[in-house]
Amino acid sequence: MSDTVARIAEFPNDDRYWVIRWIDTYEVVSGRTATPSVGVILIPTANNPALKNFRSSSFNFEEECQCRVHVGFIPLLILGSIFKNGIFVGRIEAETRTVTLRKNESPYQIPESVRPAPGSTSNPLTCMAI
């Protein structure tokens, strides 16, 4: 097994902690030799979100960063994953929630916590956002 640490060059390299907020569109550029990619939305935070005293108010949603990452990195791309200088450093501890949509209610109301990011084309029932 290799001791090599994967660094995602497309992620910010500014000594701050960045958290994966959203994973979106898969893209293949037709007619080119480019590698398929997936869209990733990151948000910076003032401190390491893996720490026990972390507060969600530390997120800076105004500085959201959108980038495209080669599909080979998909196993590392989990919502709540934390990166510093493109290197995985941990994951936010998250609680699991169950969303129940009642069949006879119309229209279905999708809770705010599972709505996709603005402009996203993802199915809100298969993705979760921070």
Looking at residue 6, its pLDDT comes to 81
Sorted by sequence, the CB contacts under 8 Å of residue 71 that are 6+ apart come out as 26, 35, 36, 37, 38
- The token pair at 110 is 């999708």
- The token pair at 56 is 């969600």
- What residue segments make up the domains of the chain, in order of their start? 1-90+106-130
Maximum mean pLDDT: which of 8-17, 24-33, 57-66: 8-17
Q: For residues 57 and 129, is the Cβ–Cβ distance under 8 A?
A: no
Looking at residue 79, its pLDDT comes to 86
Q: For residues 64 and 22, is the Cβ–Cβ distance under 8 A?
A: no
In percent, the amount of the chain with pLDDT more than 70 equals 62
Compute the distance between CA of residue 50 and CA of residue 70 in angstroms, rounded to an integer.
25
